[in-house]
Copies of this chain bind each other. A is one copy, B any other.
Amino acid sequence: MDFFDQLVRFETELWNAVERRLIGSGHVGLATLQALRVVDRHGDSARVHELSHELSITMGAASKLVDRLERGGMAVRRPHPDDRRSSLISLTPAGRSARRSGEQTAHRFIAQIIDDRDEARDLAAALSRLQTRITRVSEEADA
């Protein structure tokens, strides 16, 4: 379990350290920043579904997350033109600005932790490859 324990510990502490840096310099928190990045990345086609999927949280959590973004004046929902069950989510100017400055701060901090860009790329690739195995191994159980 060494690998698992180390993974969990590092992820938790890195998340918390980035969070402290963001809050300490007057930016939005990391969970909010990650949400803003997902919405922005999707241009005008972000739905609750995308947030749920890309942040690995439930639909319920994603729905409430968008509620908070709206209350904070960082995003707005408008009706989906082709599917009346859904809404399209887009950032307000304030949301885009919070994303830009927060992302810059987070990026600088993380680059100090892992300053070797090749190593960062290799680690990301290794994790990405293992990622695909999670689904496969999980599904083998259901068979």
* Chain A contact residues, CB within 8 Å of chain B: 1-4, 6-18, 20-21, 24, 34, 37, 56, 103, 106-107, 109-110, 112-114, 119-121, 123-124, 126-128, 130-131, 133-134, 137-138, 140-141
Question: Across the interface, which residues of B come within 8 angstroms of A8, CB to CB?
Answer: 11, 15, 34
A126 to B122 CA separation, bound complex (whole angstroms): 11
Taking a contact as CB atoms under 8 Å apart, the answer to whether A138 and B17 are in contact is yes
User: Which residue of chain B has the shortest Cβ distance to A112 in the bound complex?
Assistant: B137
Taking a contact as CB atoms under 8 Å apart, the answer to whether B137 and A109 are in contact is yes
Taking a contact as CB atoms under 8 Å apart, the answer to whether A126 and B127 are in contact is no
Taking a contact as CB atoms under 8 Å apart, the answer to whether A123 and B20 are in contact is no
Question: Across the interface, which residues of B come within 8 angstroms of A18, CB to CB?
Answer: 4
Taking a contact as CB atoms under 8 Å apart, the answer to whether A134 and B14 are in contact is yes
User: Which residue of chain B has the shortest Cβ distance to A142 in the bound complex?
Assistant: B24
Q: Which of B113, B123, B128 touches A126 (beta carbons < 8 Å)?
A: B123
Taking a contact as CB atoms under 8 Å apart, the answer to whether A12 and B56 are in contact is yes
Instruction: Write the nearest CB–CB distance from A125 to chain B, whole angstroms.
Output: 8
Taking a contact as CB atoms under 8 Å apart, the answer to whether B17 and A110 are in contact is no
Can you add 11 more A-B contacts, CB < 8 Å, to A1-B107, A10-B128, A13-B131?
A2-B124, A3-B110, A3-B121, A4-B14, A7-B123, A8-B11, A9-B56, A14-B134, A24-B141, A109-B137, A112-B140
